Amino acid sequence: MTDKATIRVFIADDHAIVREGLKQILAEQRDIIVAGEAETGLDAIKLVGKARPHVMLLDISLPDRNGIEVLKQVKKDKPELAVLMLSMHREDQYAIRSLKAGAAGYMTKQSAPRELVTAIRQVAAGQKYVSAALAQALAAQVGEDHDTPLHDALSDREYQTLTMIASGMTVSDIARELSLSVKTVSEYRARLLVKMKLKNSAELTHYAIRNQLVG
């Protein structure tokens, strides 16, 4: 922290309106300033070091790469940086993966502004942040005797492809959304089907619904 205990925040989100909204929320806080921002994963990796933030707000769905991939690279370069993941996805879809990858916390964009401010202060102080609902879900898993689910073996991109297919998106839709080639997305799909011992997208969708990976 700085001498005046000011928390420096870096925002990485591809939507300008989201970044502006976050900046307005944080501008009302005397102990928080926005030190920098980026709209792509590559820019976030390049610029975050120059901004010297204490906390990074990182969108999990960036146009050029998955937010968890960015998280891993940022933590490799700046292990001391507290990264708070922001997402439109339900907590049970990406929260565990984010925390395992080194995130200090995870919250949805539907969260109230005061919750965001609380989360920033908490992770800046070296603590973890999860919502009450997620904490309850994590506690429920403690002591459970069950096999590791097949989707835990997927890479972050494969898992993202799984949830998008299960949400009804075609390979072409996914390629366009993630700025990838159709061939690349098809390879992700093929690999995840092999890993999960599934035959087609219908079985994949059924698995995702059964395991509550999609809403």
DSSP of 62-123: -SSSBHHHHHHHHHHH-TT-EEEEEESS-HHHHHHHHHHTT-SEEEETTS-HHHHHHHHHHH
Q: Which of 19-23, 152-156, 179-183 has the highest mean pLDDT?
A: 19-23
Distance CA 137, CA 141 (A): 7
Residue 202 pLDDT exceeds 70: yes
Q: What is the 3-state secondary structure (H, E, C) of 14-30?
A: CCHHHHHHHHHHHHCCC
Question: What is the value of pTM for the model shown?
Answer: 0.70
In sequence order, the 6+-apart residues with CB closer than 8 A to the CB of 163 are: 89, 93, 208, 213, 214
pLDDT averaged over the chain?
87
Average pLDDT over every residue of 25-33: 95
- Domains in the chain, please, with CATH? 7-139 (3.40.50.2300), 150-211 (1.10.10.10)
- The residue whose two tokens read 């769905």 is 61
Query: Are residues 9 and 55 in contact, defined by beta-carbon separation less than 8 angstroms?
Result: yes
Encode burial over 8-22: b for 16+ CB neighbours within 10 A, e otherwise. Answer: bbbbbbbeeebbeeb
What are the Cα distances from residue 170, in Å, to 11, 46, 106, 164, 183?
30, 32, 28, 8, 13
The CA-to-CA distance between both ends of the chain, in Å, stands at 39
The model's pLDDT over 35-45, given as tens digits with 9 standing for 90+, comes to 999 999 999 99
Give the confidence band of 139 by pLDDT, cuts at 50, 70, 90. Answer: low
Residue 1: predicted pLDDT: 47
pLDDT at 3: 42
What's the pLDDT score for residue 2? 43
Q: Cα angle at 6 between 5 and 9, to 5 degrees?
A: 140
For 61-87, the pLDDT digits (tens) are: 888 888 999 999 999 999 999 999 998
Q: Per the structure block, which two tokens stand in for 204?
A: 């994949």
